[in-house]
Structure 1
Amino acid sequence: MLIRPEHPDDVDVIDRLTVAAFEPQWFSDGSEAPIIRRLRASGDLTLSLVAEDDGDVVGHVAFSPVTIDGSHDGWFGLGPISVRLDRQRRGIGRALVAEGLRRLQELGARGCALIGDPAIYGRMGFTGDGPLSHLDLDRAIVQHVTFSGPSPRGELRFAPAFDAPGH
């Protein structure tokens, strides 16, 4: 399996993959593929990686800037992340996240934050120990991993693409 940056001809495949991966999920509102399109259109898609196996794109992860208490300060958000349904639970998502975090560190990022299940993302080094908040969500699912400097404290806000109506 090869993990690489998205190419222009991957855009439609990423869109279809994201829709299919999130459609059966109880927590999905169907906004994930449009978020990726808006991130790309606004220039906020800092890092977009695909997992390719035998020429087929089987996974995708997006990273975009976030603010904490109104300041970007080198922090990024993870998500959406998608893996083709027939390839889930085989380590593809974990590999995409690991490679994305490695590349963010190379770019000089201070850290990465996400909203997600602590049982899943905790195994990847993320912690939801309470210093970050996001809207009225349980702070345990507002997670982060710090690459340099102190752990963040404050209100986490994702790129404007996440704030579109219906999300």
Structure 2
Amino acid sequence: MNLNIRNELPEDTKRISKLTAAAFEQEQHSSHTEHFIVDALRQAGRLAVSLVAMKNDDIVGHVAISPVTVSSGAAGWYGLGPISVLPDCQGQGIGSSLIKAALAKLQSKGADGCVVLGDPDYYGRFGFKPHAGLELPGVPQEYFQALSFGGDLPTGTVQYHESFDATE
């Protein structure tokens, strides 16, 4: 597969929104607002990393990473997601490629670590693990996971940016 991963460009925003809506349309564990979340993060200037996967001239995947707040005051922590791959391109390693590239980019920016809400079997492949003492309220511990880039893991409650409440 000929896949190119690059930073999003201003002219990509509408295609990213359509891709994200399509990627989550049939997902039962989805709010179906992920495309609104990405748009709101962008408008708020909170996209620390925003990468697209290109196959030929088509955007087939997107990953967003944004800063999170930890109640202990720990700085340098980010949240992975939403991550989207076109339904007919899923299962081809595009999501994995996007996650690896996004984490590498985040680490090169000096981040201390990253959290993710999702399937522990999937995200565990990238080094994410649940950690006692680091929580996202209302979420079972095994689905909220963290990856440290070398330092100590913070403790406390994690809060995502208010853009994650976007519904339009």
Unaligned runs of 5+ in 1: none
Structure 2 SS opposite 1:143: strand
State the shift of 1:152 in Å: 2.0
Within 5 Å, which residues of 2 pair with 1:3-152? 3-69=5-71, 71=73, 73-152=75-154
Count of matched residue positions in the alignment of Structure 1 and Structure 2? 166
1:160 to partner: Cα distance: 1.6
8 A Cα contact 1:65 1:72, kept in partner: no
Moved more, 135-144 or 57-66: 135-144
Deviation at residue 72 of structure 1 after TM alignment: 5.4
Superposition RMSD in Å: 1.4
Residues 107-158 of structure 1, C-alpha deviations (whole Å, 9 max, x = no match)? 0000000110101100111001333111121111110100031012110111
Which residue is equivalent to 2:158?
156
Residue identity (%): 43
**In structure 2, what residue type is equivalent to 1:152?**
P
| 4+ aligned runs moved over 2 Å, structure 1 | none
Matched to 1:35, the amino acid is I
* Contact 1:130-1:142 at 8 Å conserved across structures: no
What one-letter code is carried by the residue in structure 2 that aligns with 1:10?
D
- CA separation in 1, counterparts of 2:38 and 2:80? 11
Equivalent-residue separation in structure 2 for 1:149 and 1:21 (angstroms):
34
Structure 2: stretches of 5+ with no match in the other structure: none
**TM-score, normalised by the number of residues in structure 2:** 0.94
Tell me if the contact between 2:74 and 2:154 (Cα under 8 Å) persists in the aligned partners: no
TM-score by length of 1: 0.95
